Every structure is written in C-alpha cells, then in structure tokens.
Amino acid sequence: MQRLFLSIGAMKAGTTWVYSFLSRHPEINFTPEKEIHFLADFYTNHNPLTTQHLNQRLSARLKGIQHLRAERQKSIQEWYEHVYIPGEKTVEWYKGLFNNKPTGQHWNADFSNLSALISEKGWQQITEDISNQIKAIYILREPCERLWSQFKFSQKLNSKASEAELIQQASKFIGTRSAKIHSQYCLNLDNARAGLGIENIKPLIFDDIQDKPVELLRSIERFLKISEFNYLNTGDLKRKINTTSNNSPPKQFRQLCEPIIHREIEGLNRRGVDVPQRWRLD
C-alpha cells in the first residue's frame, strides 16, 4: 500500500466529527467501515475483530444507510458481506479492504482509535508490512472530560443511582485497563512517534473542533499535503457527532482524575504539545 492516513485516537475525542468532513475530501479514500480495528487486532493483544463484532458492524451499518440511494446501499452491503466479514484477517486482507490504490497525493484512510494502543515495535512492523508512507493524527481531549465521556459511554448507568453510588462506580471504572490505556496520551504518542517518525504524527486539540473547525481541517490538509476542500458545503461545522452529553464531570470525579490530569498535561508540555489553559488545574 502506498499512502495510509490514520487517526489513532483518543477515544471519545472527536474522531467521528473529523471523519464526517474528511470523508468527503476527494483525495482521501475511506472504506465503508470507519473503524476497521485491524491494526490493533493484528499488532496488539486486544483482538477486537471477533466474529460478533464484525456482524454487529454489518447490522449497525445497514441500519444507518436507509437514506442512501438503493445502488449505494447495495454496494455497502456487498462490501461488508464479501470483503470485510469473510476471510482470515491478515495483512493482505487489510490491504484488500481499500478498493483503489492512491496515486499522486491521495491517501487511504483508517480512523480506528484502538490503534493508539500499538507499541513502538508494532508501529515499526506496520511500516514494513503495510506501508512506509504513514501519517497519523492523535486528537487530545482534556483528560478528565474524556474519561467522563468514556465512562458514560461504556457503562450502563442507573438513572436512579445516588451521587455517591455513581462516584463509586466511576472510581472503579478509572481503575480499569480500558480507562488507563486510553488515558495514557504521552505513552501512546511516544510509541507512535518512535515507530513512525515524529514528523508523521500530528497531535490535535479537541477544543479546536468547537472553537476553530475550519482551521483544524486545514491543518490536516497541510499535514497530508493535499488540496483545500470547501467543507462549508458539506454540513454544519458546529454540529456534534456521536457524542455523549457534554455535561461537565462532577467535582468528585474530577478529583479522582487529578493525578491523570497532572501526569498528562506535564508530559504533553515536555513533548512540545501546547494544551489549552483551561485544562490546567492551577
């Protein structure tokens, strides 16, 4: 494969919003499945590509395309049934998911947040197996707000639970493997930079999706060295996509997050990533 453009995270940090606009760019080629998850499945020990997951993705995708013309619905269904779901999940299977070979400055794209969990050696192996022309973005969200969003997204919360019960549940969640690994911005960033080259990894700030959306999209275009696209004709740049409620985390939850906030903000500063002042505890 020639050029591969990845979004590697973070979870619950606006990846779907970025995808919703970049998927319209004529020089970026996505498959019908935004989050393929092959890289995490093949190069980590997480193995998300279970038969159950694949079938769930087919079902969910078909429910979401009823508004498309009949030919497009048929094309998407056939891709899932004949390309995505069957077969052993090998490197050649992954390459075969993309129905064209980018030429010039075109990019194949895969926005799978689980890719953030790949080690340095994993990234190095990917450049040998799949492509030596890889660029990736890593969207960073204020650590506590991201954790709160992940908590609400992943837990079945009891609407009648007391605040004390909710915080107890949240405390257990913060200690889970999933919460920990998706909160390790600096470690994940270091692994990707070491494996792919620091010049090929672009950290982005979640706040800019709301504050300066066009500038954020333009920065990605410059990063990929592709032409500017008129996103104003593709929808409302201020709309939220695939987000949980944007209520601020409760004070008690933020207190639980303080060690994570300190660790990640200080680490990002040392790595030259400028985070918004509002993220800081002091």
Mean pLDDT for all residues in the chain: 90
> How confident is the model at residue 247, as a pLDDT?
65
What residues does each domain of the chain span?
3-49+89-279
16, 34 in Cβ contact below 8 A?
yes
| Residue-level pLDDT at 249 | 87
Per-residue confidence (pLDDT) for residue 244, from 0 to 100: 44
pLDDT at 174 over 70: yes
Residue 154 neighbours by CB under 8 Å, 6+ apart? 173, 178
User: Which CATH number fits the domain 3-49+89-279, given the four candidates 3.40.50.2300, 3.40.50.300, 3.20.20.140, 3.90.1150.10?
Assistant: 3.40.50.300
Res. 240 pLDDT band, cuts 50 70 90: low
Closest by alpha carbon to 155, among 174, 141, 133, 137? 174
Q: What CA–CA distance (Å, rounded) separates 140 from 206?
A: 6
Q: Is the peptide bond before 10 cis (omega within 30 degrees of 0)?
A: yes
Q: 0.95 exceeded by the pTM?
A: no
Q: Is pLDDT above 70 for 143?
A: yes
pLDDT digits (tens, 9 = 90+) for 48-74: 999 999 999 999 988 888 888 999 999
